[in-house]
Amino acid sequence: MKFLGKVLLTLLLVLLLVIVAFYVLLQTQWGAGWISRQISDDSAYQLSMSKIEHDFSNPSHLLLDNVAFGRDGQPATLVAKRVDLGLSLKQFSNPLHFSSIRLNQGTLNLDNGNPPVSLQADRLQLSQMALNRSQDNWSVQAQRVDGGIIPWQPEATERPDYQASFQISAGSLLLNGVPAANALIEGNVKGREWTISNLGADVARGSATANARRDAAGNWQVSSLRLNSIRLQSDKTLSDFLQPLLSLPEVRLGRVDVTDARLEGRDWAVTDLDLVLKNITLSHGDWQSDGGSLAMNASSVVNGSLQLDDPIANLDFSPQGIELSQFSSRWVNGLIRAQGSWNRSDKKLSLDEVVIAGLEYTLPSTWRERWTQALPGWLDSVEIKKFSANRNLIIDIDPAFPFQMTSLEGTGNNLLLAHNHQWGIWSGNMSLNAAEATFNRVDLRHPSLTLAADGNSINFTEMSAFSGDGMLEGNAKISQQPDRSTSFTLNGRQVAFNLLQNWGWSPLPQSKGNLQLSGQALLQQDKPLKPTVNATLSVTSADNAVQQRMVNGEVRSGN
């Protein structure tokens, strides 16, 4: 029996020696390489590491150095200088589930094309890591990431019963191309639902804070969002800049506060923007609201050639449309003020009052083309119930037909200026007058015009002006039909015979007398006017009497 006991004791000592030797070998470079090869050869993963460390003073932790881990045939999901694995009894039933995983000084890639590994942990901790993620048209690249996720079960996130909480900070990050620093995000996950209880970051030399929730369908509800002193520059146009927000399935905004923001992109800019937006839902480029509002002001807003200075706007949103309680802005050295509403059902903008004062405006070279362009789908018609203009200067430098009106004033009532997505004067009445004017290089004093429009025609019931020592009076009628047939008359007393020479008539004697002009034309869209003009011009004085006829835009005869 003594001999058998000695044999068993010897075997136990040999076995213990083997275990100790194997334990020591595993913590060598050879042991780390051997385990890496076994896992890489016998599983769907690739693993490499330089060293394994274990200390009996902390027996529940296993340390791995210089680790690279990922799925076969794909870039590494994890690269870390050190991985600390917290061991537990659960390893016997689920070897890939740890009590904790701590990743130090490396990179974690969670892209769509690179699914997360099957490792699970009661707690995942990150220390000075880089994090890359691309999903649902959102891309994130974060550096110097610290934080934790409890629990970490990446392949269970699609399950409705999966729940986890997280708290992560990043020294710097790039969110859809927008840089940020000192970011902090806290919240929890339940299945595909996300709740962000606290989000903060330094963005574009300013700060941003928010809390939000995403439902299982990918729709976001932002309870609050605050942007302070943002200084953002972009190389995108305004529509491209807003596209990520407009392309989301649904975003419900509870309250958005913007303070002292400056935004600049390609052909657009906003300076010193203050804004409060409440209770509005954006979905696929449209919006819905019940009891929402917008209050904003800025130093300037630039979009292409349009520049508004000191704009102020207050809007209220409802299922029926938008109530514009206040809009005012300085524009080209003048002032614009308006109030009214936009109705969703008929896409009609009804302005109760529009005031334009003190403008010094040179019309863009394409203003005629813009006038004939169709309006966007959301705007069918524009009505101004009360219109007034004071002390305005309007200039057109088109060499084919230049004009200028100085100290232009006017009033209007019930003006329908757009109908069926097309600009025009479809109904209402208006009176305009100016101190001085020049039309096609013809100087006039105190020109005055009165018109009344309905569904059939635009009637210019009174047109008058002083020219030199004489006076001009006339009237005109323009049909509202597509051919825009026009008839006109003009009478002058003691005016120059050559008053209309710049308008295509042949030169006449250098004299003064009475003038009579009558004719017809077609103001058709996208077609030249001149070939449609047929008119008769007669001038008489004590010494002369001359008559000219214009046929299809050409002077054919005279005497």
The predicted-structure confidence for 464-486, as pLDDT tens digits, reads as follows 999 988 999 999 999 999 889 99
DSSP 230-276: -EEE-SS-HHHHHHHHHTSS-EEEEEEEEEEEEEEETTEEEEEEEEE
By mean pLDDT, which of 77-81, 210-214, 256-260 is the weakest?
77-81
Q: For the whole prediction, is pTM greater than 0.85?
A: no
Task: Show the domain range for 538.
Answer: 456-559
> Could you tell me the CA-to-CA distances from 404 to 151, 160, 360, 408, 529 in Å, in that order?
74, 70, 11, 10, 21
Q: Is residue 320 part of a domain?
A: no
Segment 174-199 shows an average pLDDT of 88
Q: Is residue 548 part of a domain?
A: yes
What per-residue confidence (pLDDT) applies to 19? 46
**pLDDT tens, residue by residue, 66-76:** 888 877 778 88
What per-residue confidence (pLDDT) applies to 117? 57
Tell how strand 100-111 and strand 124-135 pair up: parallel
| 6 confidence band (pLDDT: 50, 70, 90) | very low
CA distance 258 to 312: 14
Mean per-residue pLDDT over the chain, rounded:
86
Q: Is residue 140 part of a domain?
A: no
| 108 confidence band (pLDDT: 50, 70, 90) | confident
Q: Is residue 10 part of a domain?
A: no
| 417 confidence band (pLDDT: 50, 70, 90) | very high
The pair of structure tokens assigned to 471 is 């006076």
What per-residue confidence (pLDDT) applies to 115? 47
Q: Is residue 479 part of a domain?
A: yes
Number of domains in the chain: 1
Instruction: Using the structure block, give the residue that is written with the tokens 């409705």.
Output: 160
CA distance 304 to 412: 29
Q: Is residue 533 part of a domain?
A: yes
> Could you tell me the CA-to-CA distances from 338 to 346, 349, 421, 429, 442 in Å, in that order?
20, 12, 21, 19, 34
| 362 confidence band (pLDDT: 50, 70, 90) | very high
Q: Is residue 522 part of a domain?
A: yes
CA distance 299 to 318: 28
Beta bridge partners of 3: none
Under 8 Å between Cβ of 213 and 223? yes
Q: Could you give the 3-state DSSP secondary structure of residue 423? A: strand
> Could you tell me the CA-to-CA distances from 297 to 245, 320, 330, 495 in Å, in that order?
22, 25, 12, 52
Q: Is residue 539 part of a domain?
A: yes
**pLDDT tens, residue by residue, 156-174:** 566 777 889 999 999 998 8
**Helices 29-42 and 2-26: crossing angle, nearest 10°?**
80
By mean pLDDT, which of 123-127, 346-350, 442-446, 553-557 is the weakest?
553-557
